[in-house]
A and B are shown apart, each in its own frame.
Chain A
Amino acid sequence: DGGITQSPKYLFRKEGQNVTLSCEQNLNHDAMYWYRQDPGQGLRLIYYSQIVNDFQKGDIAEGYSVSREKKESFPLTVTSAQKNPTAFYLCASSRGNSNQPQHFGDGTRLSIL
């Protein structure tokens, strides 16, 4: 089945540690996105990528980094500079056309130890 796979489902970070969240899609979509969701709030865009080897900052990029070396993969690193990383992280993808819907993975829940 085509879809978006996020791993791990749960992740714990120690103080001063960088952690990387995985997002893989086999939908042959050009665009990929990372969102953060806090309790009772909507999603906020962290980073997005429209094509391989290109990505742009979203509304809350500080303390995060990404790479897009392959079309299928868009990993997100939560760095030690992100002081409040506890949240639910969602990855999405879509075709390149702005009229196409975004499809989401099942998310990764990140907590601080």
Chain B
Amino acid sequence: KQEVTQIPAALSVPEGENLVLNCSFTDSAIYNLQWFRQDPGKGLTSLLLIQSSQREQTSGRLNASLDKSSGRSTLYIAASQPGDSATYLCAVRSSSSGSARQLTFGSGTQLTVLP
């Protein structure tokens, strides 16, 4: 069964710092990996989707990488801002599970960017 782990559970950085969030998964047979942002009491906002054949995706100050063979993904945030404060979740869609449309989520990294 696919398991997704995010470390650290919480991270606090000063404004302007570049930072990396980590995601690891146990089964490398995946269709894709998706990074989400969740603000308190809100739903999830999709940030980046990386297909299994891709190595990275970029959107503005965000860059996500995928190393399928080692079961790892990172989300790089450049020049962090207080508005980036949120919980960041990664989720993988396994190709070996009973249904290819199920996502398995990590428990998230709660990011605080201090002004």
Chain A contact residues, CB within 8 Å of chain B: 4, 6, 31, 33, 35, 40-45, 48, 50, 56, 58, 88, 90, 92, 94, 98-99, 101-107, 109
Question: What total of A-B pairs shows CB separation below 8 Å?
Answer: 65
Interface residues on B, range: 20 to 34
Indicate which residue in A4, A99, A109 contacts B41 across the interface (CB closer than 8 Å).
A109
**What distance in Å separates the Cβ of A41 from its nearest Cβ neighbour in chain B?**
5
B contacts with A: majority SS? strand
Interface of B toward A, CB cutoff 8 Å: 4, 9, 31-32, 34, 36, 41-46, 49, 51, 89, 91, 93, 95, 99-108
- Minimal beta-carbon separation of B44 from chain A (angstroms): 4
Closest 8 CB pairs of A and B: A42-B105, A104-B43, A104-B44, A106-B43, A98-B100, A43-B105, A42-B107, A101-B49
Which of A4, A6, A41, A45 contacts B102, CB < 8 Å?
Answer: A45
Q: With A and B bound together, what is the CA distance between A79 and B34 in angstroms?
A: 31
Contact of A48 among B4, B101, B104, B106 (CB under 8 A): B101
